[in-house]
Structure formats: structure tokens, C-alpha cells
Amino acid sequence: MADENSKLKTLSELMRISMILTRVVRPTVPCDAYTVLNCMRPDPPALLEALRPVFNLSAIRPVRNMSTPTYVNMSFTLYSILGVDEKAQLLTTYIWLDSYWGNEFFSWDPVQCGTDRISLPRNKFWIPDVVINEFIEENNAPSVPYVTAYHHGRINEALPMRIVSSCNLEIYTFPFDVQKCTLTFNSWVYLENEVRLKLGKSLDKILEHSKEVMTTMGEWELMDITYTKSVVIYTIGGIEELAFHIRLRRRATLYVVNLILPSCFLTTVDLFSFLLPPQGVDRSSFKMTLILGYTVFLLMMNDLLPVTGSSIPLINVFFCLCLALMVASLLETILITNLLCDSSGHLSPVPRWVQVSVLHILGPLVGLPQKPKEKTNTEVNACPLVVVDKAPGESEPEVEGKALEELGRLGKDLQTIRLQVDQQLTGNQTSEEWLQVGFVIDRLFFIFYIIFISVSFITIIGIWASSYAADVDM
């Protein structure tokens, strides 16, 4: 008997110490405000029997004085990021919501009742009507029908929730974007002086625990969780809101490898295609094949691109720029090929302003100075003296007449030959000038192509980098 009494005293002392320690987290309500229950026996049935009068009061807020607010302490653990829908502007997450509040209608002695807590159905107690404003779809997570009641009058509720919430997604800097979504908790019925929301645990612990248990992030990485507390004024009064701001960063490796790098490679190949000779059709055929391949590539990778009507992502501008450069390069190749391959000789002479601006000014600037003209002697030498032997029996006048007639015919033939030679030399000179103009324009476009690609890519990368740095530093 002495040993049993000693054990009971020890157990009683331990229960009293436990009660003292748990009172540290007791809600900020005076001790005399809680109704103390008496248990007939230290077992759960006796405690349940003592709590039956409390169950009848589950329809009203558990305070003895209606002017006393109920403090609801809330926290959550972000367990998983299930998906982000840019088109519908939706964020799907899975969280563990934990909340507790005080109930002034009960408290008990853990020694007398044999336990310091008990789990009972949710409908036995008053539950705060805290909702999430951004909720879009019904919570289809497994339901938890129980809450835990502690001996000092605190009730704890832990719920898993699959939240499909609206979120303003800014995808201008996709795939280097940082999104900030908000989960706003507030009471739907009770005013500020009736239900007040508090942070259940520190944000550092919420963030640390979320990163520890998070298993499914996919392409998203949790960066930070912050909160703001505010009061929204309605016609009936103010309602307190507790907003948690979740910052997510997209992992861009997949998109860089599958989208950006192949586009850069194809644009580089198109750039080096200017080294092909423009006189033939090989360059134009190569560029058309390249444009066709790039179009097929964009169609295949279309599923990786975000679809939204709010803004145009910068990566779409990047793809359009690459395609536009390829098309412009093909058009320039068609023009130059047509100019260089026209060997009919019927081209009009190069205008004076083209000679000055292209051949004399732009040519030396791009490293293609005008070739010096070759001196050609188009003058026909004087006709040689024709000596005609006088045939026997012919008189001197007859011989001279035949010689003059022969010289006349020879002069007409020489004049015809001279006209043909002059026409051919003039045509060759005109063709050479147009060829030189074509080479200068081709070289000039090649230089502009390099400059435009460099400036455009540096600008886009700079915008991506600055926007990403600004989002991270927020």
C-alpha cells in the first residue's frame, strides 16, 4: 500500500507539473473566466460525461462575456506545390493548416480527469468560420472529423487542405520569373471585436518546416513566406484579415536547355550562312530549310510556353525576333542572288548616286573598295594601205575604182565590229558595277545582322537579369 501511495503521489506531482507547463500556451484570458469541470473518475468516459453540457453550447462563440474577443492563432505548413496555371491565373498547393483558440466553457484538472487532452468530433465544439478569400475550388483533401481539446480550455484543429487559389501571375520574364501569391484568412461572419486572428508560430519556423517537408515542387522553388495583418472595413464593421504572401521561383534550367539554347544555335547557323557564295542558289535553299526547321521546333515546343492574355512573355518576343531575322536574311539573299546572277547584260547603268553612296563610300567602310577600271582601246586603227596589183590589160582608172569600192565595204564591216565591241565592253562594265554593288550590300547586311543580334540579345538578357534581381530582392 505504501508503494502504491508513493506511486500515486509521484503521478499526481508529474501531472501537476505538466499542467503548469501547458499553462504557458494558455490563451490570454483570465483564469477565473474558464468553467472548471469535475470528473467523477480519472478516465475518458468520466471526462466525456463532464463535457456534455459544453456540447450543448457549440452554436455560440465560447465566451462568457460577449465583449471578450476570441483569439484564433493560425499557422500552416506548405507541403507541396502541385501546379501553376498561367492561363487561368491559378495556384494549386497542398498545406497543413493548424489553428487553436480558447473555449471559456470548460477546463479540467488533468490529475482528477486522468488526461490533459482529448480528441472529439468537430461538431461538438464551436469552430471559427475562417475562410481563404482566394479559394476557387472546393477542398478535396481528406477530411479530419476531430479536434483536440486541452485541459486549460484550448481547442486545436489540424486540417490538410488542397487549395486552388487565384493568383496574379506575372510571366513577362518567363522562364526567369518569381511569382508572389497570397492566401488571405479572415472570418466570414464575426467582426474585429469578436474574432481576432494571430500568427500561431514565427514565420521562420513556418518557412523552415515547409522546406523540410516539401516533397513535390516540380519546376517551382519556395523562396519566402511573409504575412501582413489588416482590418477591412465593411458597412457592418471591420473584419480582421491575416494574409500570407508566398514567393515562388521557377527553375529555368529546363527552358534554357530546351528553348533558348536551340534558338541561339539556329540563329548562329543562319548568321554563318552568309559565308556561302551568294551567286548560286545554295544559300537561299539553306536559309529556307533553316526557317522551316525553326518553325517546326517552335510548334513542337509550344507546350512549354505559358499561355495568358494579360501580358506577352519576353521569351515570345525573343522567338519572334529570331524568326524575323531569319526571314529578313532570306529576303536579302533573294535580292542579292537575283542581282548577282542576272547575266543577260541588259541591266541599265548604275545610277550616279548609287555609285557614290555604295561604291565610293560604303564599299571602303565594309572592306570592299571599288576595283580600278581596266583601260580598253576601242579605237580602230587606221586601215592599212591596200596595194592592188594591176592586172595586165587593165587601165589605171579602173583599178582605182575597184580599190575604193573594196575599201568602202571594208570600212562598213569595221564600223559594225566596233559597235559590237563597244556594246559588249559597256555591258561588261555595267555588270561588274552591279556585281560590286551586290557584294557591298551583302557585306553591309552581314555587319548589320551581327550588330542587331548582339544588341538585341544583350538587351533581352539584361531585362531578364534586372527583372529577376528585382523580384528576388523584393
Query: Who has greater pLDDT, 341 or 442?
Result: 442
Residue 383 confidence (pLDDT) = 42
Query: Who has greater pLDDT, 374 or 139?
Result: 139
* Residue 241 pLDDT grade (very low, low, confident, very high; cuts 50, 70, 90): very high
Residue 73 contacts residue 200 (beta carbons within 8 Å):
yes
With left for phi above 0 and alpha for psi between -120 and 50, is residue 251 left, alpha or beta? Answer: beta
For residue 452, pLDDT beyond 60: yes
Query: Who has greater pLDDT, 109 or 219?
Result: 109
* The dihedral sign for the CA sequence 332, 338, 339, 340: positive
Q: What is the mean pLDDT of residues 116-136?
A: 92
Phi then psi for residue 65, to 5 deg, are -125, 120
Residue 93 confidence (pLDDT) = 92
Q: What is the mean pLDDT of residues 111-122?
A: 92
**Strand 107-108 versus strand 36-37 pairing type:** parallel
Residue 216 confidence (pLDDT) = 64
For residue 16, pLDDT beyond 90: no
Residue 162 confidence (pLDDT) = 94
Residue 337 confidence (pLDDT) = 79
pTM value > 0.75: no
- Closest Cα to residue 344, out of 420, 431, 441, 432? 431
* Residue 24 pLDDT grade (very low, low, confident, very high; cuts 50, 70, 90): very low
What whole-number distance in Å separates Cα of residue 369 and Cα of residue 135? 71
Residues 287, 288, 290, 291, Cα dihedral to 10°: 120
Q: Grid coordinates in use for 249?
A: 521561383
Query: Who has greater pLDDT, 409 or 16?
Result: 409
Domains of the chain, first to last: 25-251 (2.70.170.10), 256-377+410-473 (no CATH)
Q: Roughly how many angstroms between the first and final C-alpha of the chain, as a whole number?
A: 69
Burial of 352 (0-12, 13-18, 19+ CB in 10 A): exposed
For residue 377, pLDDT beyond 80: no
Residue 425 confidence (pLDDT) = 47
Q: What is the mean pLDDT of residues 16-36?
A: 49
* The dihedral sign for the CA sequence 20, 22, 25, 28: negative
Residue 291 contacts residue 323 (beta carbons within 8 Å):
yes
Highest mean pLDDT among 86-90, 348-352, 412-416: 86-90
What whole-number distance in Å separates Cα of residue 411 and Cα of residue 417? 10
What crossing angle do the helices spanning 314-340 and 282-300 adopt, rounded to 10°?
Answer: 160
Residue 130 confidence (pLDDT) = 92
Q: For the chain, what percent of residues have pLDDT higher than 70? A: 72
pLDDT one-digit tens code per residue, 194-233: 999 999 899 999 999 998 888 666 788 899 999 999 888 8
**Taking the CA atoms of the chain, what radius of gyration do you get in angstroms?**
46
For residue 10, pLDDT beyond 60: no
pLDDT one-digit tens code per residue, 288-314: 999 999 999 999 888 888 876 567 888
Residue 138 confidence (pLDDT) = 85
pLDDT one-digit tens code per residue, 213-224: 886 667 888 999
Residue 410 confidence (pLDDT) = 72
Q: Grid coordinates in use for 58?
A: 457549440
Query: Who has greater pLDDT, 352 or 11?
Result: 352
For residue 3, pLDDT beyond 70: no
Residue 343 confidence (pLDDT) = 46
Residue 440 amino acid letter: V
Residue 173 confidence (pLDDT) = 86
For residue 60, pLDDT beyond 50: yes
Average pLDDT, the chain: 79
Burial of 366 (0-12, 13-18, 19+ CB in 10 A): middle
What whole-number distance in Å separates Cα of residue 18 and Cα of residue 16? 5
What whole-number distance in Å separates Cα of residue 445 and Cα of residue 274? 9
Lowest-confidence segment of 169-178, 314-323, 332-341, 367-376 by average pLDDT: 367-376
Residue 344 confidence (pLDDT) = 45
Q: What is the mean pLDDT of residues 336-352?
A: 65
pLDDT one-digit tens code per residue, 307-324: 765 678 888 889 999 999
Task: Write down the number of H helices and E strands in the chain.
Answer: 11, 12
Query: Who has greater pLDDT, 232 or 396?
Result: 232
Residue 206 confidence (pLDDT) = 93
Residue 244 confidence (pLDDT) = 95
Kind plus residue range of the DSSP H or E element containing 239: strand 238-250
pLDDT one-digit tens code per residue, 145-180: 999 999 999 999 999 999 999 998 888 888 888 899
Residue 381 confidence (pLDDT) = 45
Q: For the chain, what percent of residues have pLDDT higher than 90? A: 34
β-pair partners for 77? 96
